[in-house]
Amino acid sequence: MSTTQHQRIVFGLKVRQFRQEKGWNFEELSKHSGISISYLNEIEKGKKYPQPANQQRLADALGVTTEFLCSPELTKQFAPLGDLLQSNFLNELPLDLFGIELQQVVEIIARAPDRVNAFISALLEIARNYSLRDENFFFAALRAYQELRNNYFEEIEEAADAFVQKNKIPEDGGVPSALLAQLLQSQYDYQIDEQKLAQLPELQSLRSVYNPRKKLLLLNNRLSESQRAFQLAKELGFNALELKERPLTSSFIRVNSFEETLNNYKAAYFSVAILINRHAFVRDIASFFKLEKWSPQTLLQLMSKYQASPEVLFQRFNLLTKDFKLEKVFFLRFIHDLDRNGFDMDKELHLNRRHQPHASGLNEHYCRRWLSLTMLRDLQAQQQQTDNPALMLTGVQRASFLDTGEEYLCIAVAKPGYPSVGRNVSVTLGVLLDAHAKCTIRFWDDPAIPQVTVNVTCQRCGLQNCAERAAPPSVIEKKEERRRMQELLEQLTN
Q: Could you please report the per-residue DSSP string of 387-456?
A: --TT--EEEEEEEEETTT--EEEEEEEEEE-TTSSSEEEEEEEEEE--HHHHHH-GGGG-TTS-EEEE-S
Rounded to whole angstroms, the Cα distance separating 370 from 417 reads: 19
Q: Write down the domain spans for the chain.
A: 5-132, 154-275, 321-478
Q: What is the pLDDT of residue 92?
A: 56
E strands present in 164-237: 191-193, 208-211, 216-219
Low-confidence ranges of the chain (pLDDT < 70): 1-2, 76-135, 353-362, 389
Sheet strands side by side (includes 216-219): 191-193, 216-219, 208-211
Rounded to whole angstroms, the Cα distance separating 206 from 194 reads: 12
Q: What is the pLDDT of residue 393?
A: 93
Q: What is the pLDDT of residue 213?
A: 93
SS3 at position 293: coil
CATH 1.10.260.40 fits 5-132, yes or no: yes
Q: Is 271 in contact with 159 (CB distance < 8 Å)?
A: no
Chain segment 42-74, per-residue pLDDT in tens = 898 888 899 999 999 999 999 999 998 888 777
Q: What is the pLDDT of residue 1?
A: 46
Domain covering 154-275, topology: Arc Repressor Mutant, subunit A (1.10.10)
E strands present in 164-293: 191-193, 208-211, 216-219
Q: Is 197 in contact with 218 (CB distance < 8 Å)?
A: yes
SS3 at position 216: strand
Rounded to whole angstroms, the Cα distance separating 152 from 322 reads: 8
